[in-house]
Amino acid sequence: MSNKINIAIIGATGLVGNMLLRILGERNFPVGNIYLGASERSKGKKIIFNNKTYSIYTVEEILHFDVDIAIFSAGSSVSLQFAKKFEKKNCFVIDNSSAWRMDRSKKLIVPEINSSEITKEDKIIANPNCSTIQMVMALAPLHKEYKIRRIVVSTYQSITGTGIGAVEQLENERNGIYTQKIYPYEIDKNCIPHCDDFTDNSYTKEEMKLVNETKKIFNDNTISITATAVRVPVIGGHSESVNVEFYKDFDIKDIFTLLNNFSGVTVKDNIKEFDYPMPKYSENKDDVFVGRIRRDFSQPNTLNLWVVADNLRKGAATNAVQIAEYIVKKYF
């Protein structure tokens, strides 16, 4: 990637925004000019990137600059308000919010699985939800080989998925300080079976994202999926217990081989050495880690997996930067 790319980060002051900057540097992304955007109240604040200091702009101000790729991580309302304005300026938009994920005209991309779907005309590209990304990464090679009939997934999700306020709530509670709650209950020493808002069907939006986004990424509406999403007092990443039923039977050795050979997935499964994925291990790593791989003996063709990933990296920022890298390689 020799061409220098003018890039904008919308939501640069948030947890994902900070991680985006870190990953752009780590991966030596060919940044030309970089424009950092946030809300009006953050205008003028300073952020250091690649040993240079940059001022925060409003999104409206960034629209006046020459931007090749804009990565949005400022929530659905901001994306809905501004993404199409950047699109009109012939700028590629990679959106981390839920605004465009289920829009039939927009691609929902995990690069290791379906980056080839991106065309030059796809100016707004959706980044899937963090919990969806890690699950489909683990299931993609298995779906290709055995075809998935049904998925039952329970998530154990890091508070970092909620944002800086949630991290502050946990830290304050652990220090005996009880201030404004981001969650409806204390999160320290607790598990809250409630991620995102509840919908009319009694599932939360987070649970329905796992259902709907998985079907879209795999381009397969025949898969039956049910999910329970739980918030846990963890910093490092999201964990998922995944029970998956296939149409075809499998050999466990072949499952290990398929997962080991899939880019972006690392098998961590040696129960004799108590070696299995944990969020503390996944923190600051880009791979999706899979362990506790075992046959479900209660019914045919069914497998249990434990899937862990850093939700701020592969679950959000890294996936977005990988999409940007693909766009640069193909269209710049």
Q: Which residue out of 130, 143, 194, 195 is catalytically annotated?
A: 130
| Residue 218: its H or E element | helix 205-218
Q: Which of 12-48 are b and which e, b meaning 16 or more Cβ less than 10 Å from the residue's Cβ?
A: bbbbbbbbbbbbbeeeebbbeebbbbbeeebeeeebe
Q: Are 54 and 21 in contact (CB under 8 A)?
A: no
CB atoms under 10 Å from CB of 115, counted, come to 18
Distance of CA 146 to the CA centre of its chain: 25
Q: Active site includes 194? A: no
How far is residue 225 from each of residues 32, 102, 135, 140, 228, measured CA to CA in Å? Answer: 43, 16, 12, 15, 10
Nearest CA-CA partner of 91 in 109, 111, 65: 65
CB atoms under 10 Å from CB of 155, counted, come to 27
SS3 annotation, 266-326: EECCEHHHCECCCHHHHCCCCCEEEEEEEECCCCCCEEEEEEEECCCHHHHHHHHHHHHHH
Phi and psi at residue 116, to the nearest 5°: -65, -15
Q: Are 132 and 155 in contact (CB under 8 A)?
A: no
Dist CA 65 CA 288 (whole Å): 36
Q: Which residue out of 91, 143, 195, 238 is catalytically annotated?
A: 238
Dist CA 210 CA 130 (whole Å): 9
Dist CA 22 CA 278 (whole Å): 23
Q: Active site includes 195? A: no
Q: Which residues are catalytic?
A: 130, 238
